[in-house]
Amino acid sequence: MLFKRDLLQSLVIIVFFISYLIAFVSSSSSKPNIILIIADDLGWNDVGFHGSAEIPTPNIDALAYNGLIMNRHYVLPTCTPSRVSLMTGKYPIRVGLQGDPMRSQDRVALPIEEKILPQYLKEQGYKTHLVGKWHLGFYQTRFTPTKRGFDSHFGFYSGTTRYNDSVTYSEPYEGIDAHRDLSPAGAEFYRKYLTDVFTEEAVRIIKNHDRNHPLFLEISHAAVHAIKNNILQVRNVDENNRKFGYIKNEHRRLFAGILDALDESVGKVIEALDSSQLLKNSVVLFISDNGGATVDPLWKYENTASNWPLRGMKTSLYEGGVRGVAALWSPLLIHRNNVTEEIFHISDWLPTFVAAAGGNVENIRGIDGVNQWNFLNGQQRTSNRSEVLININHKKKNAAIINGKWKLMRCHLGHTPSFADEYGGLSERNESEVIFKIEKVIGSTTNNVISKYVSSSLNLSETFLRVRSLATIDKKCSERILAANETRTTPCEGDHLFNVEDDPCEYYIIKNISYSSIANELKSRLDYFESVTVKQENIISDWKADPKFFSGYWKPWLDEEEKFLNCATLFNLSCIAIITILLYKII
């Protein structure tokens, strides 16, 4: 009897264990790995897949031509607001962070109450890693990535950093901005090339990844952002001049080198995913955080990005500032070799990735992002989004909203027309200077790896060229292109209506009263969003952040203040110690 009962018990345990194992294996294998690559300040026309031949981007293009190019992927016009939206799934007006990007010494951060993307994905069993830029505040440790859902962070906290040693200048302070989780990591960047350091880290994470868990890897590059004093840093200037000598503008030539290293990085990441058996179950998304900076209107850097032929650049609410480069590839999805004109917003990735991970999106309240997973996996023919709030910025006195093909630009009284809102900068396409070679894309690392998943009967050059032509919008902008040599300024005062489907270059303001009801609907939606906008904070620039107080490092500088606020009682010894340190600092 006793023996039988033991046997029964062990059987029950074994059955239980096996079913647990099956459940575990099936659940982890069904969750896709999510690889998110973000370029910084990359312009519409900097990648080859929108029709440019000037700087070859064969790896990025191979991802795009094999997958789905998202030709209406809206982002915010600058770094911090865009990353707020990506991480929270909300428009940045919901948290008061719709304004200028954070400076390193600013006492500001994404509010701690906001639950962010890696936190959601951790709940779904993901291992979560951030490589590179954060830019969502770090004045206290609790705001840094590893305290907010990332299992690891290797990179920098600020808006950008030097490519040869990860030193960040944020006027008037300068210091090393390099961290491995919470530890200083300057040595890992010293005299190395930033993009390569991030690539090596990403490859290391991929190689070491425990395949019992799904992977969320965000690679957030500094490339192609320029740094202090117009400097664009490449690996080696002489080699760069040899490779891109055909580019006349010196800055643009350096820009090409930065972009080239970024493109190479994409190839290495795809290769590592494949050799680690992760690629077959991965979704790879490549996006830019905002439009290209032809010059940087905020910090006056001469970046020489190009948004040709779109109007506007980084900081602008015209398409050139907010219609970001975006392409998605996955062997799991049906969209291949295609371009979509469906509207996406950067906030959509939070619910979309949570849905991809098997999470219940209905439980996520208060977000603006729309779950697009059913569109991406082919269960739905169209996206569920038609409206996008582009932004509302009371300090800059501008706002914009889109519904379908219609876009309303609102310029409040007193708005100063700015260079950034025009067709300025280095943006012409001169095909006679370079001959585009699709063979480069076909022979790229990315394409060689991805070709395993592609039917061999496909004529790649024909297919890729067809997709490229679909993704190139020049044909809709012929009048603007003819007038490319004119520096037009059409001051924006009041509300202007555009049809961004037929006129993506925003060349014609629609004044025909037949469309006034459309304009009125957009106005009232914009009024509504204005009514729920959280005011932009007055940001405190804090001298106590100066890296000279922290052995030359940018790091959280107000942790003691936080502890002070949490002090339960004055008779608490550690509280007294903290107060003493604080008093000492103030004096």
Q: At closest approach, how far in Å is the CB of 13 from ligand NAG?
A: 41
Assigned token pair, 356? 């991809």
Are 228 and 177 in contact, with CB atoms under 8 Å apart? no
Give the span between the Cα atoms of 84 and 165, in whole angstroms.
27
Q: At closest approach, how far in Å is the CB of 486 from ligand NAG?
A: 5
Assigned token pair, 175? 């210091």
Identified catalytic residue from 79, 411, 477, 505:
79
**Stretch near ligand NAG under the rule CB under 6 A, chosen from 43-51, 145-153, 290-298, 562-570:** 562-570
Give the span between the Cα atoms of 270 and 276, in whole angstroms.
10
Q: At closest approach, how far in Å is the CB of 317 from ligand NAG?
A: 25
Give the span between the Cα atoms of 211 and 443, in whole angstroms.
29
Burial 483-494 (b: 16+ CB within 10 A, else e): eeeeeeeeebee
Burial grade of 463 (CB within 10 A; 0-12, 13-18, 19 or more): middle
Assigned token pair, 341? 């004109």
Should residue 191 be labelled a site residue for ligand NAG when binding is judged by CB under 6 A?
yes
Identified catalytic residue from 50, 73, 129, 135:
135
E strand segments, 368-491: 387-393, 398-403, 406-411
Q: Find the angle CA(165)-CA(265)-CA(145) to the nearest 5 degrees.
A: 60
Q: Which of 572, 576, 580, 581 binds ligand NAG (CB under 6 A)?
A: 572
Q: Could you give the dihedral angle defined by the CA atoms of residues 372, 375, 377 and 381, in that order, rounded to the nearest 10 degrees? A: 170
Query: Rule CB under 6 A: which of 475-494 touch ligand NAG?
Result: 485-486
Q: At closest approach, how far in Å is the CB of 522 from ligand NAG?
A: 17
Should residue 165 be labelled a site residue for ligand NAG when binding is judged by CB under 6 A?
yes
Nearer to ligand NAG, 540 or 567 (CB): 567
Tell me the C-alpha to C-alpha distance, in Å, between residue 525 and each of 260, 303, 401, 435: 42, 35, 8, 46
Burial grade of 173 (CB within 10 A; 0-12, 13-18, 19 or more): middle
Number of residues that bind ligand NAG (CB under 6 A): 30
Write each residue from 418 to 437 as x if it is in contact with ligand NAG (CB under 6 A), else as -, in one continuous string: ----------x-x-xx----
Q: Helix 237-244 and helix 250-275: axis angle, to 10°?
A: 100
Nearer to ligand NAG, 405 or 412 (CB): 405
Q: Helix 250-275 and helix 58-66: axis angle, to 10°?
A: 50
The SS3 assignment for 26 reads helix
Q: At closest approach, how far in Å is the CB of 352 from ligand NAG?
A: 9
Give the span between the Cα atoms of 55 and 47, in whole angstroms.
7
Query: Rule CB under 6 A: which of 228-287 touch ligand NAG?
Result: 231
Should residue 190 be labelled a site residue for ligand NAG when binding is judged by CB under 6 A?
yes
**Stretch near ligand NAG under the rule CB under 6 A, chosen from 18-26, 162-170, 264-272, 436-444:** 162-170
Nearer to ligand NAG, 203 or 356 (CB): 356
Question: Does residue 411 carry a catalytic annotation?
Answer: no
**Stretch near ligand NAG under the rule CB under 6 A, chosen from 35-43, 203-211, 251-259, 569-577:** 569-577
Q: Which of 338, 403, 448, 541 binds ligand NAG (CB under 6 A)?
A: 338
**Stretch near ligand NAG under the rule CB under 6 A, chosen from 30-38, 149-157, 203-211, 456-464:** 456-464
Are 352 and 372 in contact, with CB atoms under 8 Å apart? yes
Cα 353–chain centre separation = 14
Should residue 455 be labelled a site residue for ligand NAG when binding is judged by CB under 6 A?
no
Give the span between the Cα atoms of 394 and 399, in whole angstroms.
8
> Which secondary structure element, helix H or strand E, spans residue 25, and what is its range?
helix 2-30
Nearer to ligand NAG, 69 or 206 (CB): 69
Nearer to ligand NAG, 113 or 486 (CB): 486
Q: At closest approach, how far in Å is the CB of 378 from ligand NAG?
A: 10
The SS3 assignment for 182 reads coil
Query: Rule CB under 6 A: which of 499-528 touch ligand NAG?
Result: 512, 514
Question: Does residue 135 carry a catalytic annotation?
Answer: yes
Nearer to ligand NAG, 343 or 392 (CB): 343
Q: Which of 245, 574, 583, 586 binds ligand NAG (CB under 6 A)?
A: 574
Give the span between the Cα atoms of 282 and 331, in whole angstroms.
7
Enter the DSSP assignment of 227: B
Give the span between the Cα atoms of 274 and 203, in whole angstroms.
11
Query: Rule CB under 6 A: which of 367-426 touch ligand NAG?
Result: 371, 374, 384
Nearer to ligand NAG, 128 or 233 (CB): 233
Q: Which of 459, 517, 531, 538 binds ligand NAG (CB under 6 A)?
A: 459
Nearer to ligand NAG, 142 or 535 (CB): 142
> Which residues carry out catalysis?
79, 135
Name the residues that contact ligand NAG, by CB under 6 A: 162, 164-165, 190-191, 231, 337-338, 371, 374, 384, 428, 430, 432-433, 459, 461-462, 485-486, 512, 514, 563, 566-569, 572, 574-575
